[in-house]
Amino acid sequence: MTSAVRLRAACALPLLLLASIASARQGERPMLLSPAKSTVAMQTITLAPIEAEALRAQRATTIDGALPGVIDKRLAITVNRRVAIDAALDGTWQVLADGTQVWHVGITSPGATDLHLGFQRYVLPAGARLWVIGAGGYYEGPYSSDDGDALWVPMVPGDSAMLELQLPPSARRDAVDLVLSDVGAGFRDLFKQVAATGPLTSGACNINVVCPLGQPYSNESRALAYYEFTADDGFGYICTGTMLNTTAGSTRPFVLTAAHCMSSPTEVASMRVYWNYRSAQCTPTSSWSFAQNQTGATLRATRADVDTTLVELNAMPDAAWRVFHAGWDASGVAPATSIGLHHPKGDVAKVTESRSSPRTMNNCIGTGGSSVNTHWLSGPYTQGTTEGGSSGSGLWIPSSDGAGLGRRLIGVLSGGNAGCSVSNPSQPDNGYDCYGKLSAAWEGASATTRLRDWLDPAASGARSVVGAEAATTATPAGLRERVAAERQAVSLRAAQRGVGARPLPFDPRTRPD
């Protein structure tokens, strides 16, 4: 197997049963976290090490063809390792006294700060359940046969992970086609076990979305998606997206983001989305959570010159998360001022303000070849800024708009040179950003390159729509099972019972050990 050392002799692997950062999509605990199973015979597969600090220093975000000083505002977070860890060939199987069949395997990527796992072959028989367990007892799962033909699991902390698959006694092992194909070795420390990226790491001039500047956009902040994906260039990235409404109502989970973030079906399929990732108060930043997450999406439309991509998530978010479907305006009329909502440097949701009217310009990051009047120029900012990780976020008409079109998205962030001031870090500098115009992305050669077919499915001709709460729809079986499990886990944690017992909301800085 490429870049891997297979340790064929089974070894006794001590488990990290620390009640620390275990707030995820947690349902029933895996067997590995049972107190009676503090060690288990397991094969461990070791991948090539990474140098996280060196990778953080190396990953420039300048795109060839960009204007001088301009960067795209993706944020690289992982080095992807292609593997082929097959439940039929690797790991260890055992049969419990009740007939349950259990498979385990360990993966280690020395130097990684967190791991991001993808299964491009994922077929399980009815009743099977899969968990991914990271450092400190943090786990994701259980996943089931209802989760589709491919599965990308939200991140887990640490440089090692363990997989546990349970089959009911009646299930046939040859009905399992489970192959771990991708291991993203993280180098940004998204759980902030040390410090690098994530909560509290964006520039000092950034403003939490719950602060007074962002309060008029409380609904729109619920449409904000922090997401990770594995790119075709072999790295994993963070970007921002926005759930959008349509002229036919909020019945489909369309998320708008930047094409320089994701533009291929394989990149979109690897999407892991986190909702309501924000501080509970204006200052200091506190009580954020990665718990509201879902995986997988389908590419609907992408256009390089305007730098826009529209995806449809594999499922509507759980209704309990109250994800908002934001309004938008594709008229191409510039508002007097503008607002931005985004996740800079993997941090909690932030808000920016520019008190000047957006101006028309070409694509500032140089993607898509010839680009004429495809972008809005925004900046300098009067409050807040953008950073790596903000790419794909929306430019908004402010709530005070005199035409009554406030709180509608008009553009998608490509990049720029805006940041916090070097001489006065609590204030923005004089830089600018460019945002792909919704009006420019509205038309295109076909449905795969334009937005109107998806956002105006009945061809009403409308080019502006107000935001709305999500329509009530049936939750797919796989997501329903995990959501129910997470709700049960929340009640257990609130009652201070079980391995997940800890205060809520989840704060990854809190380590009771």
Residues designated catalytic: 260, 307, 391
Alpha helices for 291-443 (secondary structure H):
438-441
How many CB atoms lie under 10 A from the CB of residue 269?
A: 24
448 Cα distance to chain centroid: 23
Q: Cα dihedral sign for 430, 433, 439, 443?
A: positive
- Around Cβ 354, how many Cβ atoms within 10 Å? 24
Give the 3-state secondary structure percentages of the chain, helix then strand then coil, rounded to 5: 15, 35, 55
- Buried-exposed string 242-268: b where 16+ CB fall within 10 A, e elsewhere: bbbbbbeebebbbbbbbbbbbbeeebb
DSSP 222-278: TTEEEEEEE-TTSEEEEEEEEEE--TT-S-S-EEEE-TTT--SHHHHHT-EEEES--
CA atoms within 13 A on the CB side of 240: 37
- Consecutive H or E run containing 486: helix 477-494
Radius of gyration of the chain from Cα atoms?
22
Q: Count how many residues are written for the chain.
A: 513
Residue 474, Cβ density class (10 Å: 0-12 exposed, 13-18 middle, ≥19 buried):
exposed
Cβ contact 493:502 at 8 Å: yes
